Structure 1
Amino acid sequence: MAPSKKKKVEKEGGKKKAMITVEVKKKMIEKHERGMRVADIARFYNKSTSTICTILKKKENIRGLDAAKGVTRVSKQRPRVLEDVEKLLLIWINEKKRAGDNVSESIICEKAKALYVDLVSKQPGTSQENEDGFKASRGWFDNFKRRSGIHSAVKPGEAASSDAKAAEVFAAEFQKLMVFDCYLPEQVFSCNETGLFWKKMPKRTYLTAEENAMPGPKPMKDRLTLLFCANASGDFKVKPLLVYHSENPRAFKKYHVEKSQLNVMWRSNSKAWVTRILFVEWINEVFGPAVKEYLLENNLPLKVLLLMDDAPAHPPGVQDDLLEEFKFIKVKFLPPNTTPLLQPINQQVISNFKKLYTKALFQLCFEVTEGTDLSLREFWKNHFNIVNCLNLIDNAWNWVSKRTLNSAWGNLWSDCVLGHDFNGFDQELEPPVVHQILSLGEIMGLEVNEEDIEELLEEYGQELTTDELMDLHRDQRLEVKEEISSEEEDKRAQESLTSNEIREMCKMWEKVQHFVEKYHPNKDVAVQTINLFNDNTMSHFHQILKRRQKQVSLDRLLGKISDRRPTQNPSSSPSPSSSSLLSHLPHTNYDSFQRQSAG
């Protein structure tokens, strides 16, 4: 009798056959359609050619699948609505993680059941029995966790509420530390993240009403994450870190934006939230150099304390990742569940920034509609983009006053607050900003009142509804497609450029370079400018030439190998040489294959 499947697996060394996810299958099909050979795809993914051929035969069916992350196949027994539940659940978990909230197994399962009921209720002809059909069992959760890789986001137990007692104890210890270690307010910094719906208006405006009435993705739900940081004296703000879900938005290309020249440190990932890697980059590339320069300019001791909460992006070992030149920076963490009570950046600084951002947004709308022929509706729909948003963020962060930043330390380090008069501060500051927003809205014919502005600010901290999660999911997919399309356009433009044209341009640049070096009166400025242009511009064209030269050399080598092969039998049909086959591969795919082969 033939051995069972289980025994066969044991005889082969106990290795379970690795299943290929739907996501990876789609990538295989995409590579093949871009010209990559079956054998090269098999080698790239370490699979047999027969497996790749089977996947390619079923490519039409696979393309039609819209599976959640990690799913290997979609069976008839697995309802489509469950796929949607898991996709939206991942977005929800990412949003919770972005906010620094803990999520446990029970919280995730409850949310999954709520999403399931909500989605099923939206389907026509739904019965109560269908709504109760998904139990979010332990088995489902284990499989979901394995497929999606959310282990780091799940914490044991329930998320706790604010711990007032721990906050009181920590504040007393913190004030003693400041005295004992002789820290000045200029040397103590606080940082924290916040989400921003950058294209969102109060609900009662006709722009929002039109947006909600339209089918499909809602740009007003587009969200980014900002990390703000300032010192306790309030006289120094650090360049913010901004994380978006797109690395190169189309507006950047349209307006020729240089990311290195922005007033924020621009980074991206698919979830648009701060990760440990991005946080460490910000500390070493922005925070460290900036505070060092600030202290030296003000003749202050090279000593800094950075206060932060225990969010996932701020792991305890972050101090070990500091570069050697920034070891003067010490990191201190707030106790769990004390952020709302103690974190200075959270004490009206972020809410004040969002008020000021809304004011800047209304002001921009007013200036555009007053100074051009555009209507507010047309400007909002066709012209307001992420580049405008970056200018508004810069304005709003600049408008956050020294007094706001200093008074924010009142709950934690009252001795550093100027005059110790921080009670009632918010009541003095907020009304003028809100009144300016309302005045601008009235001039533009927008029906908004003070409650609308407060509601808008509260929405930033509210949990996303099922419809909002669906909008986010659609937006992210659309943005990825647009980026791929933009990259393909750039690639076609590069391929239309001949190597001779690039060489001629390089020769002309060499002539200009020699002329400037010879005749410019300031040699240092000339050399610095030339090097900058070489690094930021000319290196791109040199890389194209280098890549093409490698391709030509390899094709010649493969051609020689092909010529040395024995002459084929005249009666047999000739097979194409490796050289001719490889020459049809796109450069990017083939270069990737070369690196894999070398590895």
Structure 2
Amino acid sequence: MASTKKKKVKREGIKKKEMITVEVKKEIIEKYERGMRVADIARCYSKSTSTICTILKTKEKIRRLNAAKGVTRVSKQRPEVLEDVEKLLLVWINEKQLAGDTVSKTFICEKAKALYTDLTSKLPGMSTENEEGFKASRGWFDNFKKRSGIHSVVRNEESVSSDLTVAEIFTAEFKELMVSEGYLPQQVFNCDETGLFWKKMPKRTYIAAEEKAIPGHKPMKDRLTLLFCANASGDFKVKPLLVYYSENPQAFRKCKIQKSQLNVMWRSNSRAWVTCILFVEWINEVFGPMVKKYLLENNLPLQALLLMDNAPAHPPGLEDDLLEEFKFIKVKFFPPNTTPLLQPMDQQVILNFKKLYTKALFQRCFEVTNGTNLTLREFWKNHYNIVICLKIIDKAWDGVTMKTLNTAWRKLWPDCVVGHDLEGLVHEQELLLVDEIVSLGKIMGLEVNKDDIQELLEEHSHELTTNELMDLHFAQQQEVLEEISSEEEKTTEDSLTSNEIQEMFKMWERLQSFVEKHHPNKAIAVRAINLFNDNAMSHFCEILKRRQKQLSLDRFLVKEEQY
């Protein structure tokens, strides 16, 4: 008996071996190849030098592993396609999160199965039996949550049925607030983001068919994000925020565009999404000054209310981030999952903008090509860029009428709507707008009908396909190449020495270690660090690699000359 207890104590005293993730192994390899000594790496990760050497010996095998960020290990028993499923699933979940959507366990599992089916269908020799082998079971889901740290974005199934009840309660509370605080329709604002595939055309047009047939030619998947805002009376629109992949597109340099003079606030990041930082910038630099000026010019009390959804880009403590001169602005959030039911911008406003954008785009095509030798295909490929797109966005947003903006509040605040019979009129105008788009398309020789236009409008906010998720994942890895012009890159490289870059890497490594050690949520910390590595540090890695290649080439040429 005593012997058994002794063995038990001995087992309990054995420290559980800590697994090293695939991501960390790749980091170790990168650091070694940048010149960091094995002993220093071992100290950095609190590992033995023999462990680091073992990882370096198998570096080629580790490089081939393509685990999703946050996944702790790649099991030998797990098919490689499952790793791809989880990688794309994380991209999809992140897109949902950035859009302010929450997803349930069932929704995630269904998406995982769809991704698995799509990916296996592209592999040679995969049968239907193999495709049905992945069930996205409860065990898989629980392990996926542990590997990826997505606990905070998974929504309880039971909450779906309560959305309507919560929306009704919020509407009653909102009505009481309007009365008690004495808000006028001119003082109450709503803002919301939307994606825009600015070069997209109906699928049945020859332009879309041609694009599909050309490998690597995918301008129709070029997306930007717009944030629109207006007041409940509909007489005042705030300058939109626009977020794109590139800070300085080639067309900007060619047309000598001054971003400060644009009719949108231009910002950029790798995913073309609104972030907390960009949103706060827009609030303090655009929304606050414009609203204050509008209220003073119209002799209205200096108080305003901004209504918005609880998307991650909208910080809960936004009022604390307001500059002192804009403290008159109050912020109120819609309850989770009620924005499609209540949010004014979702009630035809954004859809109306996209119809007007499509109409203006077709008009531009017709005006440029009519009476010239320029074909529509040539216009689309060579004469339609982001600068022209901005002009069309401005025209379309200007075309959203006061009636449309005011009527959009009919569900949340019916008392502020001027003339309840306007709803039918606005609906008729929407139908007429679609007819005008179809007519313009046919004049240009495009094969389009009402269903094609409706499908095109829906695709701006459609569910991302497997191929689009793969494109997005790839685009995220290539952000530096898209954002930095060749001239700017050359200037940056010339001003930096290799020693300065290597010193910066050492400081970044120390910072990473500190954050990983002390951050309360390791999954969030790891994702943030990886995102910064992909979007910022990779640029400096490329500089060092190019210099090393050039140094090797110079040495080779010297030897050749000696011979």
* TM-score normalised by the chain length of structure 1: 0.73
CA distance in 1, matches of 2:428, 2:291: 31
Q: 1:444 and 2:357 equivalent?
A: no
Q: How does 1:121-270 map to 2 (within 5 A)?
A: 121-157=121-157, 160=160, 163-216=163-216, 218-270=218-270
Query: In structure 1, what residue type is equivalent to 2:300?
Result: L
CA distance in 2, matches of 1:372, 1:194: 35
Find the counterpart in structure 2 of residue 483 from structure 1.
Answer: 482
- The Cα shift of 1:464 comes to 2.7
Q: How does 1:111-122 map to 2 (within 5 A)?
A: 111-122=111-122
Find the counterpart in structure 1 of residue 560 from structure 2.
Answer: none
Q: How does 1:263-412 map to 2 (within 5 A)?
A: 263-314=263-314, 316-370=316-370, 374-412=374-412
Change (3 A) 1:62 1:450: same
CA distance in 2, matches of 1:280, 1:268: 14
Find the counterpart in structure 1 of residue 536 from structure 2.
Answer: none
Query: In structure 2, what residue type is equivalent to 1:468?
Result: E
CA distance in 2, matches of 1:453, 1:80: 39
Find the counterpart in structure 2 of residue 19 from structure 1.
Answer: 20
Change (3 A) 1:492 1:412: closer
Q: How does 1:484-503 map to 2 (within 5 A)?
A: 486=484, 490-495=488-493
2:248 and 2:485 in contact (8 A); partners too: no
2:357 and 2:396 in contact (8 A); partners too: yes
- The Cα shift of 1:84 comes to 1.7
- The Cα shift of 1:358 comes to 0.8
CA-atom RMSD in angstroms: 3.6
CA distance in 2, matches of 1:254, 1:51: 53
Alignment identity in percent? 67
1:309 and 1:339 in contact (8 A); partners too: yes
Q: Describe the SS at the equivalent of 1:331.
A: strand
Q: How does 1:401-440 map to 2 (within 5 A)?
A: 401-440=401-440
Q: How does 1:4-15 map to 2 (within 5 A)?
A: none
CA distance in 2, matches of 1:443, 1:41: 69
2:403 and 2:422 in contact (8 A); partners too: no
Query: In structure 1, what residue type is equivalent to 2:210?
Result: E
Deviations 1:201-242, CA, capped at 9 Å, x for gaps: 112111112223344573323333222110011121112223
Gaps of 5+ in 1: 497-543, 549-582
1:410 and 1:422 in contact (8 A); partners too: no
Aligned residues: 504
Change (3 A) 1:252 1:56: farther
Query: In structure 2, what residue type is equivalent to 1:483?
Result: E
- The Cα shift of 1:199 comes to 1.9
Query: In structure 2, what residue type is equivalent to 1:480?
Result: E
Q: Describe the SS at the equivalent of 1:418.
A: coil
- The Cα shift of 1:103 comes to 0.9
Q: 1:102 and 2:102 equivalent?
A: yes
Query: In structure 1, what residue type is equivalent to 2:393?
Result: I
- The Cα shift of 1:594 comes to 5.5
Change (3 A) 1:488 1:60: farther
Find the counterpart in structure 2 of residue 521 from structure 1.
Answer: none
Q: Describe the SS at the equivalent of 2:233.
A: coil
Query: In structure 1, what residue type is equivalent to 2:22?
Result: T
Query: In structure 1, what residue type is equivalent to 2:95?
Result: E
2:91 and 2:473 in contact (8 A); partners too: yes
Q: Describe the SS at the equivalent of 1:189.
A: strand
Larger of the two Rg values belongs to structure: 1
CA distance in 1, matches of 2:253, 2:70: 33
2:241 and 2:265 in contact (8 A); partners too: yes
Q: How does 1:571-586 map to 2 (within 5 A)?
A: 585=498
2:226 and 2:242 in contact (8 A); partners too: yes
Find the counterpart in structure 2 of residue 590 from structure 1.
Answer: 503
Deviations 1:495-548, CA, capped at 9 Å, x for gaps: 55xxxxxxxxxxxxxxxxxxxxxxxxxxxxxxxxxxxxxxxxxxxxxxx5xxx7
CA distance in 2, matches of 1:488, 1:75: 41
- The Cα shift of 1:480 comes to 2.5
CA distance in 2, matches of 1:460, 1:168: 29
- The Cα shift of 1:429 comes to 2.0
CA distance in 1, matches of 2:168, 2:195: 28
- The Cα shift of 1:37 comes to 4.6
Q: Describe the SS at the equivalent of 2:422.
A: coil
1:250 and 1:483 in contact (8 A); partners too: no
* TM-score normalised by the chain length of structure 2: 0.77
- The Cα shift of 1:302 comes to 0.9
CA distance in 2, matches of 1:254, 1:20: 46
1:217 and 1:472 in contact (8 A); partners too: no
CA distance in 1, matches of 2:40, 2:379: 46
1:252 and 1:387 in contact (8 A); partners too: yes
Find the counterpart in structure 1 of residue 67 from structure 2.
Answer: 67
2:349 and 2:404 in contact (8 A); partners too: yes
CA distance in 2, matches of 1:371, 1:25: 62
Change (3 A) 1:172 1:421: farther
Q: Describe the SS at the equivalent of 1:230.
A: strand
Deviations 1:552-578, CA, capped at 9 Å, x for gaps: xxxxxxxxxxxxxxxxxxxxxxxxxxx
Query: In structure 2, what residue type is equivalent to 1:80?
Result: E
Find the counterpart in structure 1 of residue 82 from structure 2.
Answer: 82
CA distance in 1, matches of 2:42, 2:150: 29
